[in-house]
Amino acid sequence: MNSNTYNWQGACGRWYELEIVRAQRDWEQVGGIYMFVKPHDGSQFGGPICLFIGKTDDFSEALARHDMWQAAENLGAREIHLIAIKHAETRGRVMKDLLEAQRPILNKSMLRRVA
């Protein structure tokens, strides 16, 4: 993976390296986990902050016009962090792990179900 990455920790203690990408681009037709992220604000304690976590079988379909991007952008999201994960079972496990650790504000309804 390139140097434009960020490591997020899951609830189990495992670290996941996600690629940092811009919101406007051509998305690959692969599955994985993605986060809408408010970038670090430059202060000692200021982020980055995960605002939303999702999973998909196809980034090109999920991210082309995502219904949560505007809400995340309104809260300061400027980046999308993603990791390609081939197997659906693994995607589900990683998403649950990251949801429990990061507790993104725009995933409140999902947090009630997985917690």
> Tokens for 99?
């949801």
Mean pLDDT of the chain: 88
Dist. CA 17–CA 83, nearest whole Å: 7
pLDDT of residue 1: 39
Phi-psi region of 42 (alpha: psi -120 to 50; beta: other; left: phi over 0): left
Q: What is the pLDDT of residue 111?
A: 58
Quote the pTM value: 0.86
- Distances 65 to 7, 90, 94 between C-alpha atoms, Å: 25, 25, 23
- On the question of pLDDT at 115 being above 50, the answer is no
Residues 60-107 pLDDT 10s: 888 888 889 999 999 999 999 999 999 999 999 999 999 999 999 999
Q: Which domains occur in the chain, in start order?
A: 5-108 (3.40.1440.10)
Q: Bigger pLDDT: 46 or 36?
A: 36
Token pair of 52 as six digits: 């939303």
